[in-house]
Amino acid sequence: MKAYIFPGQGSQFSGMGKDLVAKYPEAQKLFNQADEILGFKLSSIMFEGSDEDLKQTNVTQPAIFLHSVAIARVAQNFNPDCVAGHSLGEFSALVANGTLSFEEGLKLVYKRALAMQKACELAPSTMAAVLALADDKVEEICRNITEGIVVAANYNCPGQLVISGELKAVEIACEQLKAAGAKRALILPVGGGFHSPLMEPARVELESAINAAVFNNPSCPVYQNVTAKAETEISQIKKNLIAQLTAPVKWTQSVSQMAQDGTTEFVECGPGKVLQGLVKKIAPESITSSVEI
């Protein structure tokens, strides 16, 4: 079985999509459509913007979504047995398997980006990568921090877990995690505490947008971040997509489940190769690749 997987925020780069558009008229059409839907020239920022321009959440999220969906659209023999995406990448995955139209997906991603940005402005918050410490130990330390909210947010692969929460609480957690034996506990250059209870205002905003959007029956299952299980029911897909903003990204568990269910090949669609590296650490026997463009 073959899975197509889609990256999340952090994989953007200056010039992204330029070669794609030059080579494929279908990609050009999607980029033009995105500019029209959003009401600003996202394509120009992607092609010519600086790394700093691309770091803005309201640009990063639609840019990665657009790039990922365009790659899936031009991929030869694109016929996945299942799909999955890391955080934001779940929206790309849902367009790839037909659950969402490109237009609906892009509108939801932009709404999500703006809502998350707004939530980040309410309280100083951040995320930190924790390396080489058992997940249950990280969870225990986060639970016992009394100076504010801090939770496990991204289960990326064995030995790599990202925590998220209020700035002070994350800083204290980092010190305690290093004292407990973590190889590193490093604050990340992100806009705020994603996938934590601090995103509740964004979740509420996104909930109404998701409930108003048109969802179709998927062509294949999507393994969602919240449950790490194969989902095909529209009502469950919606529920998980809404919960995703405040719940942890169970990427380790998702890939493990996909492998258990018979997936042997993982093809990354989008900028970068981060997910391939994570998959290799979770399911070492699997075959990983990127879409050739």
Q: List the Cα angle 61/186/225 in 5-degree steps.
A: 45
What's the domain count of the chain? 2
Residues 13, 146 within the same domain: no
Q: pLDDT grade, residue 147 (50/70/90)? A: very high
Residue 195 has pLDDT above 90, yes or no: yes
Asked whether residue 171 is assigned to any structural domain, the reply reads yes
- Catalytic pick from 11, 67, 125, 195? 195
Provide the mean pLDDT of the chain: 96
Do 115 and 28 share a structural domain?
Answer: yes
Q: What is the DSSP letter of 220?
A: S
Residues 96 and 203 reside in one and the same domain: yes
- CB under 8 Å, gap of 24 or more: what pairs does 47-54 form? 47/15, 47/16, 47/17, 47/18, 47/21, 48/14, 48/15, 49/14, 50/14, 51/13, 51/14, 54/12, 54/13, 54/14, 54/16
pLDDT at 116 over 80: yes
pLDDT tier at 90 (50, 70, 90 boundaries)? very high
User: Quick one: average pLDDT of 9-14?
Assistant: 87
CATH of the domain at 203: 3.40.366.10
Same domain? For 99 and 148 the reply is: no
192 occurs within a structural domain: no
Single out the residue of 70, 64, 87, 81 nearest to residue 4, CA to CA. Answer: 81
Strands 222-223 and 82-85: parallel
Q: Please check whether residue 57 is in contact with residue 117, taking contact to mean a CB–CB distance below 8 angstroms.
A: yes
Check whether 135 has a pLDDT greater than 80. yes
| Domain final residue pick, 152, 168, 187 | 187
Residues 218 and 278 in one domain: yes
Answer yes or no: 87 catalytic: yes
- Indicate if the pLDDT at residue 251 is higher than 90: yes
For residue 286, the model assigns a pLDDT of: 97
Domain that residue 18 falls in: 2-120+197-290
CATH number of the domain bearing residue 139: 3.30.70.250
State which of 148, 165, 187 marks the end of a domain: 187
State residue 279's pLDDT score.
Answer: 98
Q: What is the C-alpha separation between 4 and 212, in angstroms, rounded?
A: 27
Co-location of 35 and 144 in the same domain = no
Residue 55 has pLDDT above 90, yes or no: no
- Regarding whether 177 and 100 lie in a shared domain, the answer is no
Residues 146 and 114 in one domain: no
Residues in Cβ contact with 72 at an 8 Å cutoff, skipping those fewer than 6 apart: 4, 6, 78, 92, 95, 96, 269, 291
Confidence of residue 56 (pLDDT cuts 50, 70, 90): confident
CB–CB of 109/202 below 8 Å? no
**Mean pLDDT for the stretch of residues 228-257:** 98
Do residues 182 and 265 share a domain?
no
**Per the domain annotation, does 240 fall within a domain?**
yes
Cα→Cα distances 262→3, 37, 71, 153, 244, Å: 10, 38, 25, 27, 25
Q: Given the residues 11, 43, 68, 87, select the one marked as catalytic.
A: 87
> Which pLDDT band, with edges at 50, 70 and 90, does 80 fall under?
very high
Residue 76 and residue 105: Cα distance in Å, rounded? 22
Does the residue 238 lie in any domain? yes
Q: What global pTM score does this model have?
A: 0.96
Q: Could you give the CA distance from residue 283 to residue 246 in angstroms, rounded to a whole number? A: 27
Confidence of residue 293 (pLDDT cuts 50, 70, 90): confident
Whether residues 213 and 233 share a domain: the answer is: yes
**Does the structure show a pLDDT above 90 at 64?**
yes
Q: What pLDDT is recorded for position 220?
A: 98
* Residue 36 shares a structural domain with residue 181: no
157 and 180: one domain? yes
Average pLDDT for 67-96: 96
Closest Cα partner for 94 from 206, 224, 203? Answer: 224
The answer, yes or no, to whether residue 10 has pLDDT greater than 90, is: no
Active site residue 67: no
